[in-house]
Amino acid sequence: MSCKFLLHAFKSSVKPVVLYFLLLGSINNLAAQTTAPKSSMYEQASEVSGLIIQYGQDVNAIRDFYSPYTAINGYENQSVQTSPEERKRLVEIGNDYLEKLKQTDFDSMSIYGKVDYTLLKKQIMFNLGELKVDEDDYNKISAYIPFAEDIYQLEKKRRRGISVNGQDVALQLNNVLKSLNNSKASFTALSSIDMPLARKGKAAVLGLRSRLKSFYDFYINYDPDFTWWVPKPYLKLDSALNTYATLIMSKGKINTTQKPDSSGIKGVPVGHDELMRELKAEMIPYTPEELIKLANKEFAFCDKEMLKASQEMGFGDDWHKALEKVKNTYVPAGKQPELILKLYNDALTFIKAHDLITIPPLAEETWGMTMMTPEQQLVNPFFLGGSEIIISYPTNTMNEADKLMSMRGNNPYFSRGTVQHELLPGHNLQYFMNSRYKSYRNMFYTPFWIEGWSLYWELLLYDQGFAKTPEERVGMLFWRMHRCARIIFSLNYHLGNWTPQQCIDFLVERVGHERANAEGEVRRSFKGDYSPLYQVAYLTGGLQLMSLKRELVDGGKMSYKQFHDAIIKENTMPIEMVRATLTNQALTRDFTTQWKFYDFGK
């Protein structure tokens, strides 16, 4: 399961959708500051929320200004390589806001302001780190694009509509084409290139192509002299750039630290140091090895529970047979949507009966439902959620084996365990509430909160007795085992220990996945769209919230409803900062992660 509504919107440090959220946040903050009583002063704002909004808007302004003007017909702005000029301005803005943070009176702030201060500082530092990595990678591939600055200069003229000489531009484009052809010959002579640099090179070349198109589209047909001279040399250069980008990612040249296998899945293990850097940014105070240990301990719990259910079903210790029976309960083609609606109603009725959380009536009214395409099912074999639930089930164009695997993998007992993960109170409620409460914090997106919150509800409902029959327990335990497996296979892959094929086999043999579904799961994990920690975040974030629940709810300090209502209104951020808010934790300007939320025991 994945939070689709946020996954695609938040790929960069300040994302396009944030523009909407920040504007909404500005309005909400103003209303809160002028009309809210003192007791609810910090429901929508804090002493630092204004700086967060301003930083986000400033970054968006820079990215918008220095990006190509158009993004149509296959030229996508979001994939455009950051230019040196843009990168320089982003670094300057980041350092400027770090100075502004230093000028604030941290000690006099509320806990909400201190949390926002910590989050903004952490985000800026992470963004600056990413820009440094981007600059280092760009410098490594700059030798293969010596013509880049010529295109950047043309685009710079477009931004202010500077008059150009058509004949001179045609000559410039011809010279760029000659330089590109020389670069192409040099690159062809290379025996190999590391995959990360190849990806960066391809992105840089396609970015230059998009910037050239932006320049061309501005003047063509409007400037008669330009329109007379430029079209032919432009079309030749445009085609050459596209060919060069393809050449850079030629399969025969790509080096990767991934061990060779037969899966056909290609990715780049990031290594121990990068995992540690990202864990620090996510405020997770454990090593990859410790997280694998955590997952194995949770797996042991699942094994015991699965054996109990298997024995109740009459299969003894062979829980795979119990799982097989559950898989074969699938509904006929065309009947999955009405099953999802029934399961949704079952879960929401249970949650309301136990008074676990406030569900706004409009959130219940307005969630949507769509069907997933066969192409999407190759990388997302199960349903997704957000503003709508996206249902994965066979279509008439799929072959018979794939149809059966899709139906078995989305059987009623598997789906029963996760409908609330995707809808209410999971991703759909997050989508609903994030646009209404502290929307400026969408900048601090983290899968440990996004996926952790939805996974937490699976853990909580299991503990609350939502699964009443052994078949229902098998369905919920399957997903719990799956989340354990995600930590184990993704970290072992990124540590260089496992191949994609080993990851697939592990999901099939250890969890009981259909093979095609396991292949889809591994393919999407390593194709490059996900953070290397994304699959780790589900169970880890859920366990963080379970630990906080034990501290505050089981400890008698809050009711379930108070606990859940407070969390969902704080918006997305590392769970340790959720804890700081709810416990009024003493924070310092230089706060670093320290919350050991998991008991490894013996």
What is the pLDDT, as a whole number, of residue 12? 37
CB 156, CB 137: distance < 8 Å? no
Lowest mean pLDDT of 210-219, 284-293, 527-536, name the range. Answer: 527-536
Give the C-alpha separation, 279 to 303, whole Å: 28
pLDDT greater than 90 at residue 501: yes
Phi, psi of 388, rounded to the nearest 5 degrees: -150, 160
Q: Which amino acid is at 418?
A: T
Where do the DSSP E strands lie in 528-576? Answer: none
pLDDT greater than 70 at residue 417: yes
pLDDT greater than 80 at residue 236: yes
- State CA 148 to chain mean position distance: 30
One-character DSSP codes across 353-411? HTT-----HHHHHH-EEEE--HHHHTT--S-BBSSEEEE----TTS-HHHHHHHHHHT-
- Tell me the chain's radius of gyration from C-alpha atoms: 26
Average pLDDT over residues 583-596: 95
Is the bond leading into 425 cis (omega within 30 degrees of zero)? yes
What is the pLDDT, as a whole number, of residue 23? 39
CB 223, CB 273: distance < 8 Å? no
Average pLDDT over residues 286-293: 98
- Number of neighbours of residue 193 by Cβ within 10 angstroms: 21
Q: What is the DSSP letter of 3?
A: B
Confidence of residue 150 (pLDDT cuts 50, 70, 90): very high
Percent of the chain with pLDDT over 70: 91
Question: Residues 49-94: pLDDT tens digits?
Answer: 999 999 999 999 999 999 887 544 444 444 578 899 999 999 999 9
Q: How many residues does the chain have?
A: 602
Lowest mean pLDDT of 27-41, 337-351, 481-495, name the range. Answer: 27-41
What is the pLDDT, as a whole number, of residue 27? 38
Question: Residues 159-185: pLDDT tens digits?
Answer: 999 999 999 999 999 999 999 999 999
What is the pLDDT, as a whole number, of residue 161? 95
| Average pLDDT over all residues of the chain | 90
Average pLDDT over residues 383-402: 88
What is the pLDDT, as a whole number, of residue 282? 97
Lowest mean pLDDT of 66-80, 198-212, 333-347, 443-457, name the range. Answer: 66-80
Q: What is the DSSP letter of 37?
A: -
Q: Which two tokens stand for residue 463?
A: 């503990």
Cα 75 to Cα 239, 276, 325, 494: the distances in Å are 13, 35, 48, 31
pLDDT greater than 90 at residue 322: yes
What is the pLDDT, as a whole number, of residue 387? 81
- For the CA atoms of 401, 404, 405, 407, the dihedral, rounded to the nearest 10 degrees, stands at 160
User: Pick the residue with more confidence: 343 or 13?
Assistant: 343
Identify which of 429, 439, 569, 386 has the alpha carbon closest to the alpha carbon of residue 20.
Answer: 439
**What is the three-class DSSP state of 437?**
coil
Give the C-alpha separation, 292 to 484, whole Å: 9
What is the pLDDT, as a whole number, of residue 70? 56
Percent of the chain with pLDDT over 90: 79
Q: Which two tokens stand for residue 506?
A: 């592990």
Give the C-alpha separation, 318 to 316, whole Å: 6
Average pLDDT over residues 533-543: 97
CB 405, CB 515: distance < 8 Å? yes
Per-domain boundaries in the chain: 14-141, 145-255, 272-583
What is the pLDDT, as a whole number, of residue 602? 63
Cα 99 to Cα 18, 103, 593: the distances in Å are 23, 7, 22
Lowest mean pLDDT of 62-76, 442-456, 472-486, 553-567, name the range. Answer: 62-76
Lowest mean pLDDT of 110-114, 144-148, 246-250, 553-557, name the range. Answer: 246-250
Is the bond leading into 381 cis (omega within 30 degrees of zero)? no
What is the pLDDT, as a whole number, of residue 16? 34
Cα 164 to Cα 174, 226, 237: the distances in Å are 16, 8, 18
pLDDT greater than 70 at residue 453: yes
Question: Residues 92-104: pLDDT tens digits?
Answer: 999 999 999 999 9
Lowest mean pLDDT of 10-19, 122-131, 522-531, 580-589, name the range. Answer: 10-19
Rounded to two decimals, the pTM is 0.89
CB 50, CB 116: distance < 8 Å? no
What is the pLDDT, as a whole number, of residue 195? 87
What's the longest Cα–Cα distance across the chain? 84
pLDDT greater than 80 at residue 7: no
Lowest mean pLDDT of 318-322, 395-399, 553-557, 571-575, name the range. Answer: 395-399
Identify which of 283, 111, 99, 134 has the alpha carbon closest to the alpha carbon of residue 207.
Answer: 134
Beta-sheet pairing, 368-371 with 254-255? unpaired
Q: To 10 degrees, what angle do helices 447-463 and 534-552 make?
A: 60
What is the pLDDT, as a whole number, of residue 91? 98
